[in-house]
Chains A and B, each alone.
Chain A
Amino acid sequence: MTTPLKPPKKKDPQKRSVVPTLPPLGRSRAALGLTVAAAEGRFALQHCAECGAVQYPPRDACMQCLSADLDWRDTPSGGKVIAETRIHASPDPYFRERLPWRMGTVKLDAGPVALVHLHGDVARGDRVRLSLHLDKASQGVIVALPTERTDAMEDDPLMRSLTAHPRYRRILITDARAPVTLPLIHALQKAGASHVFVGEAESWRRWPGRDSIAALENVSIMPLDVTDTDSLQDLAGEIGGKTDILINTARFVRPGGVLGNDTVFARDEMEVNVLGLMRLAQTFGPSMASRTADGTNNAAAFVNILSAHALSPSPGYGAFAASQAAARSLSQTLRAEFSHSGLRMMNVYVGPTDDEWHQPLPPPKVAPSALARSIVDGLIEGLEDVYCGDVARDLAERWRRDPGVLERELTGGGS
């Protein structure tokens, strides 16, 4: 049985905040496939294209037939714990702080035997579900979970370190006016967030919906404009030290291609979607990165919402797609910069959203509540790449298969 987390006590101001340490970082190129799958919440292992053997640990040649043709494929995640061990001593600073540490040997239904981290609710002899997660070093590791949900299983210290669960965390949503913000507040509160700060740009403009956010308990509306460095510095000075999860919902989108469109709108798209992200990361990132080992409500994730057309443009939204591609690129650099601290950079890719700027488009469109659910699910699972809705999933799949073909299809070259 997992002991449920207790609400964190106020910090002792005479104690030094714990400096984050990381588990071992180095991986072979082959092993990075585990990280990619973990970032998306998939359980994937290498399969030999010649003989079909499933491989673990990742390698460059098939352990049975020596073929170098190994593909990463989603793999059945069932298994059985055949041995368990408890480690009481380690020279590694990360594990030393967390001893004793439980590991188990699991025989996978898919074939291989793997040495994995054990959830507190599994023991030798148990049937388990294997799951790939990103550890604090942003590397994929395998965890054995109970096959059925157990009480408070996400509160297990191992899971708490592998995810960015909102429970007892303080969350900043950057744009109160974004359609996703209200359902997102509800979803975060349902998941146990202790406080939600909501940024409001241009408080001199009245807008419908403000009252319904202002009336919520444990929600504060704060002045924040991602295009205004001063406002970000002011707010980071106020709440930067207690922002555990930041979710950037600020977005500027206008339809139109490139030739007939307006650089005034394109500039706003760049200001909000690209430079806004950069300013947010510069003002809130460093204090969040310094607090990733700060107790129960440590800083855990920086969340950015991207159009799936960041991968390949939709010509109907040319300049917007360019801003999304640029934002994606920034987020990848930020991910590298945050990885030294254990702060997670989560990108949520979404297809056309059901809002005023996609109104004439045919369905399917992503409802704000569906986007909110994907964000919170991604935090609970500890993902770094989330695809919300069929359009985003399909686009990502086609992009992985062949970016060139996808480009031609999207730009009218396919029939």
Chain B
Amino acid sequence: MSVHAEKALADMALALASGAVRVVDLTHRLDPDFPVIILPPEFGQCARFRMEEVSAYDHRGPAWKWHNITMNEHTGTHFDAPVHWVSGRDVPNGAVDEIAPENFVGPVVVIDCSEGAAENDDFELTPDVIDAWEAEHGPIPEGSWVLMRTDWSKREPIDYLNMEEDGPHSPGPTPEGIKALLARGIRGFGTETVGTDAGQGSHYTPPYPAHYFLHGAGKFGLQCLANLDQLPATGAILIAAPLKIKSGTGSPLRVLALVPGEAE
């Protein structure tokens, strides 16, 4: 290890201890009542988070309490690996257990779409929105996570999924929008909504363009994120390490961001 790296880590430890670098939790609580994506009922569905008590300091286990939990790989705040989508099925090292760990820690930028999403449930992240963001904040650095802030995580559950008779309505990227991000060499794309795609994403060509293009390019997805309003537009570090599930297509996870704090 070089002297430089040792100093960087030591500085980081000091900054974390002093509050100069703050840890922000971008994760929702795993809750049986948290919305999951809903598909037409003839398809298999995403299992909801469920918890059954095995013992609670009682006759089933006198000194300990524990639960059996069940869920889908894509329940709650979760990570999408390339093999999640048909376009990424042949991506090398495309499952959560195969992805190299350095991918799980990296820079993050936040595109604030909260004003647009407040006015339009079907707000789209287009190349124009990305260009406007870059005009203000500079180019999106290669290897960055790009998170789309919509303040969707603050909604009531029924307005979060926002299911209508013609399907859910929530913001997301257009096919051109996601291609524009990929052209910048991003690491992955994350949203506050239940998926990386818009609620009406099945009506784009191709359907679900964020899933299709991101995973086809071997990139990652994050969804059901929270607290994006506490992140700076640039300069934060994202820590998003999925569980090491054999051939897993995704995983619930704790997503943390390191951001500049107030204290010195």
Residues of A within 8 A of B (CB): 202-206, 208, 223, 225, 227-231, 254, 262, 264-265, 268, 356
Contacts and interface: CB of A to CB of B under 8 A. Distances in A.
Contacts of B50: 227-228
B44 A205 contact: no
Contacts of B44: 262, 264-265
Of residues A202, A204, A206, A231, which shows the largest number of chain B Cβ atoms within 10 Å of its Cβ? A204
Interface stretch (B15-23, B74-82, B145-153, B154-162): B154-162
Contact of A230 (B32, B41, B160): B32
B164 A206 contact: yes
11 contacts: A202-B33, A203-B33, A203-B158, A204-B161, A205-B38, A205-B158, A205-B161, A205-B163, A225-B32, A229-B53, A264-B45
Nearest to A206: B163
Contacts of A229: 51-53
B158 A204 contact: yes
B32 A203 contact: no
Interface in B15-42: 32-35, 38, 41-42
B48 interface: yes
B58 interface: no
B119 interface: no
A142 B42 CA distance: 49
Contact of B157 (A203, A230, A254, A265): A203
**Pairs A-B, 4 closest by C-beta atoms:** A204-B157, A204-B35, A228-B32, A264-B44
Nearest to B31: A230
B264 interface: no
B165 interface: yes
Contacts of B163: 205-206
Given A225-B32, A228-B32, A264-B44, A206 B158 contact: yes
Contacts of B160: 204
A75 to B, nearest CB: 48
A228 B32 CA distance: 7
A230 B33 CA distance: 10
B205 to A, nearest CB: 27
Given A262-B44, A264-B44, A204 B33 contact: yes
A208 B165 contact: yes
Of residues A205, A231, A265, which shows the largest number of chain B Cβ atoms within 10 Å of its Cβ? A205
Nearest to B159: A204
Contacts of B48: 202, 227-228
Contacts of A205: 35, 38, 158, 161, 163
A231 B49 CA distance: 13
A353 to B, nearest CB: 16
Given A203-B157, A230-B32, A230-B51, 5 more contacts: A202-B35, A202-B48, A223-B33, A229-B53, A268-B45
B69 to A, nearest CB: 12
A316 to B, nearest CB: 15
A176 B44 CA distance: 22
Nearest to B38: A205
Nearest to B194: A204
Of residues A202, A208, A227, which shows the largest number of chain B Cβ atoms within 10 Å of its Cβ? A202
A372 to B, nearest CB: 23
Contacts of B164: 206
B212 to A, nearest CB: 24
Contacts of A206: 158, 163-164
Of residues B33, B48, B51, which shows the largest number of chain A Cβ atoms within 10 Å of its Cβ? B33
Interface string B158-193: 101101110000000000000000000000000000
Contacts of A231: 32-33
B28 to A, nearest CB: 13
B40 to A, nearest CB: 11
A202 B35 CA distance: 8
Contacts of B41: 356
